[in-house]
Amino acid sequence: FLSLVAQFCCGFFVILILGNFWFLAVLYLLWLYLDWETPCTGGRRSQWVRNWTVWKYFREYFPIHLIKTSDLSPNHNYLLGFHPHGVLVAGAFGNFCTSSSFKNLFPGLTPYLHIMPIWFSCPFFREYIMSAGMVSASKESVSYVLDNKGGGHASVIVIGGAEESLNAHPGSLTLNILKRKGFIKMALKHGAHLVPVFSFGENELFKQVANPKGSRLRNVQEKLQKIMGFALPLFHARGVFQYSFGLIPYRQPIHTVVGSPIPVKQNLNPTTEEIEQLHALYLQKLRTLFEEHKRNYGIPEHKSLVFE
């Protein structure tokens, strides 16, 4: 969805350049130059955009639900680790980038969804995603959000990143997390409490072409992901008037469960051992969260998370 909107915005910009409105394109390029750092400094959210009626229908389509398991005090800053990435990241967008139930469940907290910096280089599209509450996933951006001395800020990071989308098959419970420890270091440096978040149903929205590790397709996808910075999963779902083939996601319920916070004491220079210890604790809490709630959302008893 984001990719389609981005392509439309880029196409519109090209039309401005080639048409009789090239001066508008020049003015926008000047604005882009002056505003380049905004995605790394908290963005520019618009409550009007977050309240668009279309997002209400978007959430109801699946539908998307946000489940609270513990209070999150607005006196602290938090780093929410979102799992899994899926193909669409629908749960993250629906719950943290629209006027969902987040504000009522966690009063006093402002969520910031961190996405790949490359999206903010797309003309016009960057304005749209910032207005929804998305900011860059760069270290500078995460630090800006978590450095709020008064608390009340929540950085939402899809830990598995683009690479994990290649595992987004229905029924898959594989998470790319064992080597991802940068978010742990950021939490320690800023004293941000860690909160595991698991979105049940995220991998059920599309059917992806078989791409087991070691296959020719997977090798090509991984090489392209390293070059471009984002993955290209080959997927399909339903059409507008039929359910056999199309790019519209299946109507599968998404339940995004927000776990209990892991208190983190600020440590400006954490050692490798301290990072490893907190990372291990986070994995333990994430697995516990999944095990406690999987029965409620159709996960067989014998299935568990697989960490890679």
Predicted confidence at residue 229, as pLDDT, reads 74
- pLDDT attached to residue 288: 98
159 contacts 196 by C-beta, under 8 angstroms: no
Answer yes or no: do 174 and 150 share one domain: yes
Same domain, 291 and 144: yes
Confidence (pLDDT) at 253: 97
- Same domain for 45 and 30: no
Are residues 136 and 9 part of one domain? no
Q: How many residues does the chain have?
A: 308
Report long-range pairs for 21-25 (Cβ below 8 Å, ≥24 apart): none
pLDDT of residue 29: 85
Q: Which domain holds residue 283?
A: 40-307
Distance, in Å, from the CA atom of 194 to the CA atom of 261, rounded to the nearest integer, reads 6
Cα 263 from Cα 88, distance rounded (Å): 30
Same domain (yes/no): 30, 65:
no
pLDDT category at 27 given cuts 50, 70, 90 is: confident
Q: Are residues 214 and 104 in the same domain?
A: yes
Find the mean pLDDT for residues 109-114: 98
CA distance 218 to 168: 13
- pLDDT tops 70 at residue 1: no
Question: Confidence class of residue 15 from pLDDT cuts 50, 70 and 90?
Answer: low
SS3 call for 254: strand
188: helix, coil or strand?
helix
CATH number of the domain within which 197 lies: 3.40.1130
Distance in angstroms (rounded) separating the CA atoms of residues 170 and 91: 15
> How crowded is residue 50: how many other Cβ atoms within 10 Å of its Cβ?
17
* 87 and 233 housed in the same domain: yes
Residues 89 and 52 placed together within one structural domain of the fold: yes
CA 208, CA 232: separation in Å to the nearest integer? Answer: 11
Ordered DSSP codes for 85-136: -TTT-HHHHHHHSSS-THHHHSTT-EEEEEE-GGGGGSTTHHHHHHHTTEEE
122 in the same domain as 3: no
Claim to verify: residue 166 and residue 263 sit in the same structural domain: yes
Residues 23 and 121 reside in one and the same domain: no
Domain count, the chain: 2
Which tens digit of pLDDT belongs to each residue from 200-253?
Answer: 999 999 999 999 999 999 999 988 888 877 788 899 899 988 888 888 999 999
Kindly indicate the confidence band of residue 9, based on its pLDDT and cuts at 50, 70 and 90: low
pLDDT computed for residue 125 by the predictor = 87
pLDDT of residue 8: 58
* Cα R_g (the chain), whole angstroms: 20
> Does an H or E element contain 273, and which?
helix 272-293
| CA nearest to 90, candidates 228, 203, 230 | 203
Do 103 and 130 lie in one domain? The reply is: yes
User: Does pLDDT of 282 surpass 80?
Assistant: yes
Q: Are 202 and 236 in contact (CB under 8 A)?
A: no
3-state SS, residue 160: coil
Structure tokens at 295: 């029965």
> 16 with 22: CB under 8 angstroms?
yes
